[in-house]
Structure 1
Amino acid sequence: MCNLSRLRRLPGIRDRPGLDVFSDVVVVVLGVLLSVQTATQHRAMFRPLDGVTVTVLALVGASLVFRRRAPMTVAWLTTGLTVVLLVVEYVAPGTLLHTSGDISVEPLIWWPPTAPFAAYAVMSFDKGGRPPWVRGIPVVVLVVAVILTTRVMPDAVVQPIRGQETDASAALIYRSVLFPVVGALIGLYVSARRGVVRGLRDRAERAEREQHLLAEQARAEERARLAAEMHDVVAHRVTLMVLQAGALRVQAPDDGTRAAAEELRSTGCQALDELRDVIGLLRRTTEGPDEEAGAHGPLPDLSALIAESDSVGVPVELVEEGDPPLASPVVGRTAFRIVQEALTNVRKHAPGARVRVDVSYRTDGVRLAVRNTPPALPADADLAASGSGTGLVGLQQRVELIGGTFHSGPAPDGGFSVEASLPAYVPTSAPEKVPVNAVGPRSGQSEPSGEEVA
């Protein structure tokens, strides 16, 4: 299997804008200098005066600045200049070049010095999806024009050179054909290599995506299995407990027993509500969200938790900001659990500490922050050791499961902070429903909860 990190280290894979700009500057400067040097070195060869030849060749060299954006245009510009020169000299010898026998034209290259760079660019940088044979048309036209011209007009230009005992035809073909062709072949190689590496990278990315999808599928299947187990086993057992508590309540001979049975039944109903949320969240990734199962409602009132904490000697300052939005029931219960767990930890680990609960309501969610000062008294060892020690970890997983963020840790002043950001709405799949009130109330008695649970 391809390793994506190794592929990214290969040349041509990483983004190198700085190096690209540097190479473009070097190529443009080199093209302009070679063009000017060619025109000035062979000034006696060219007829145009007042620097026209120098200007034209310099502009062609400067056109290399567009070799990445418009390589085909640059290639045709270079080819066109060469073809015009050769055709004009063929039709009207001596129009653009001096052809007297005492002028050596052997060193002259019959193409602008930008030709190899343009040939490389058109074969390497063209992003129009053209096949190589289409991109190579300007190079082929240039080569054919040079070969035909040197063959059909020997008397106009080649004869003076031959008079100096120089194999002008071979020299012209060598210089005018070899360099552009070599540039085109190098560009074709670079383009092919870039395509191969790009294909390997795409293949590696596809493999990574497939691995990610397989892992997600495995997690979804595990969640579905857990949801089924919770529904078939845990929810069933708790439902039986609730039903038995309801039966005990309606059949109890005294008020104390009825009150205890009612508290047990209410606690069981609350546990079933929370269990339904968990099952719905587990099923959400496998069965898709159910809009009706996540109906909006008011967030729970935290004042009961604050009063409970005050009653056991842990004063809490509650600061609320904004208007409480309507939220999914699972969000409200998660917010309640966060504050409850944080206050419980303060009572266990930081006796005598001052606690501040900040609740910021927003239209798209709620942000909670529970912070306490350093403990004023040593913690009770037995009380601090009680519990599973996984309360905060479980809260973090629960918050992340509904799409929120969670953070807990020591505060700079030596205290401790618990912070969470929860979305207002979380869709959950609607699980199968089991009636709680299979044992109905006796006449004259009301049933506190008639909802159905998973």
Structure 2
Amino acid sequence: MTRAVDLALVLLVAALGLWREVTMPAPSRLVAASVAFYVAVHLLSAVALWWRRTNPVGSSLVIAFLALLTPTYASMASAYSVAAHAPRHRWLVVTHPVTWAIGAGVWAMPNVGDGFTGPALIVIAGLAGLYVGARRRLVQALVERAERAERERELLAEQARADERTRLAGEMHDVVTHRLNLMVLHAGALRVAAKDDGVRKAAEELRTAGCQALAELRDLVGVLRSGRAARIPDVLPDRLSRLVADSAATGLEVTLTEHGDADTISPAVRRTMYRVVQESLTNVHKHAPGAHTEITIHCGPSSVRAVIRNTRPSAVPDLALPGSGSGLLGLRGRVEMVGGTLTAGPTDDGGFEVDAVLPAFVPT
């Protein structure tokens, strides 16, 4: 847009200079010279305006020199440009009315008005350039101040988030880790003291699960304290079978049916599918004890579908088990993050179904 304005200004100044030389009476020249020479001076002055933004000082000096040969309308535009775009060389504005007056006095003496009206218009153009330049610099300073304030707010917000992460990490380490350690110690003591093989086996499974939870919790605490993203290991297909086997070991009647090759899907999709099954089984343990659960995994060339369906519970849920009520909401967000969809709701037979459809490939 600015270059189009500069081109229009060049053409306008060239046309005005051509009109001035063509309409000026021949006797107005004290020195005989061809009209073509003065037309060339006007054209060169107009062309010099093309660099009035990128090199206002050089353009101004060229136009001031040409104005000594004959007054040019480019002097007005040049005075404005120097004042607006070259604040350190504003003194060049003074050269334009002086050179206009010299050129008018030497070469165009009969046109006395050229010696007074032209410099006055140049001074007005220079003052307008000073105003526009000062206003532009003021706006730029305000924009830079606003951007600096925005960066400072972002830094303060990031610092506040880092402090909150550190506080949460401390709370988790001091409270939750302590409780889990006690659970692991009690489970180990129960395994040693119990005389029944079933009790010892259950205590060992509880101790192992507690150790795994402690390890994951320590990783999470480290991530919160450092503020860096955790390196999440890939979830291999056999881990899904182990997850189902662990649930079956607690007495849950669960079956797993897999179609297709899970090795062909990307690791990010495998992790998400694993979390969908894990959260669904956790909800069955909490809210549908004694229910039969069917897990069906379809691995296709372009999509993966996981359907977890349980029947009506055969026992009363244990109200002592805590629940935040946000498990499915967070699960839906995790699924949508990889470009999938998740639907969950009760079935006609009184059970519950979770249906997740994910793309087969998502960049890690």
Residue 183 of structure 1: aligned partner: 125
Which one has a larger percent helix, Structure 1 or Structure 2? 2
- Going from structure 1 to structure 2, the CA distance change for 1:355 and 1:266 (only over 3 Å counts) comes to same
Residue 262 of structure 2: aligned partner: 319
Which of 399, 412, 417 is matched with 2:357 structurally? Answer: 417
Read off the aligned partner of 1:250 and give its amino acid letter.
Answer: V
Read off the aligned partner of 1:232 and give its amino acid letter.
Answer: D
Between stretches 46-55 and 308-317, larger displacement belongs to 308-317
Which of 326, 330, 346 is matched with 1:390 structurally? Answer: 326
How far off is 1:281 after superposition? 1.6
- Going from structure 1 to structure 2, the CA distance change for 1:150 and 1:391 (only over 3 Å counts) comes to same
Residue 67 of structure 2: aligned partner: 82
Q: Does the CA-based 8 Å contact 1:314-1:352 persist in structure 2?
A: yes
How far off is 1:112 after superposition? 0.6
1:205-233 Cα offsets, whole Å, 9 max, x none, are 22222222222222222221111111001
Matches within 5 A, 1:365-384: 370-372=304-306
Structure with greater contact order relative to length (CA < 8 Å, sep ≥ 6): 1
Q: Does the CA-based 8 Å contact 1:353-1:372 persist in structure 2?
A: yes
How far off is 1:284 after superposition? 1.5
How far off is 1:188 after superposition? 1.3
Residue 206 of structure 1: aligned partner: 148
Q: Does the CA-based 8 Å contact 1:299-1:332 persist in structure 2?
A: no
Q: Does the CA-based 8 Å contact 2:21-2:35 persist in structure 1?
A: no
SS state at 1:315 partner: strand
Residue 269 of structure 1: aligned partner: 211
- Going from structure 1 to structure 2, the CA distance change for 1:316 and 1:359 (only over 3 Å counts) comes to same
1:166-208 Cα offsets, whole Å, 9 max, x none, are 8x2xx23322311222111111111110111111111222222
Structure 2: any 5+ residue segments left out of the alignment? Answer: 344-354
Q: Does the CA-based 8 Å contact 1:116-1:179 persist in structure 2?
A: yes
- Answering whether residue 20 of structure 2 is matched by residue 35 of structure 1, we say no
Q: Does the CA-based 8 Å contact 2:266-2:362 persist in structure 1?
A: no
Structure 1: any 5+ residue segments left out of the alignment? Answer: 1-17, 86-109, 325-330, 361-368, 424-454
Residue 58 of structure 2: aligned partner: 73
Residue 142 of structure 1: aligned partner: 96
Matches within 5 A, 1:432-451: none
Q: Does the CA-based 8 Å contact 1:346-1:353 persist in structure 2?
A: no
* TM-score between both structures, scaled by the size of structure 1: 0.60
- Going from structure 1 to structure 2, the CA distance change for 1:298 and 1:61 (only over 3 Å counts) comes to closer
- Answering whether residue 201 of structure 2 is matched by residue 259 of structure 1, we say yes
Matched length: 330
Which of 73, 79, 82 is matched with 1:113 structurally? Answer: 73
Please give the alpha-carbon distance, in whole angstroms, between the structure 2 residues aligned to 1:55 and 1:114: 13
Q: Does the CA-based 8 Å contact 2:82-2:129 persist in structure 1?
A: yes
Q: Does the CA-based 8 Å contact 1:71-1:121 persist in structure 2?
A: yes
Residue 349 of structure 2: aligned partner: none
Residue 100 of structure 1: aligned partner: none
- Going from structure 1 to structure 2, the CA distance change for 1:422 and 1:280 (only over 3 Å counts) comes to farther
- Answering whether residue 277 of structure 2 is matched by residue 340 of structure 1, we say yes
How far off is 1:304 after superposition? 3.6
- Going from structure 1 to structure 2, the CA distance change for 1:113 and 1:48 (only over 3 Å counts) comes to same
Please give the alpha-carbon distance, in whole angstroms, between the structure 1 residues aligned to 2:59 and 2:173: 70
Residue 104 of structure 1: aligned partner: none
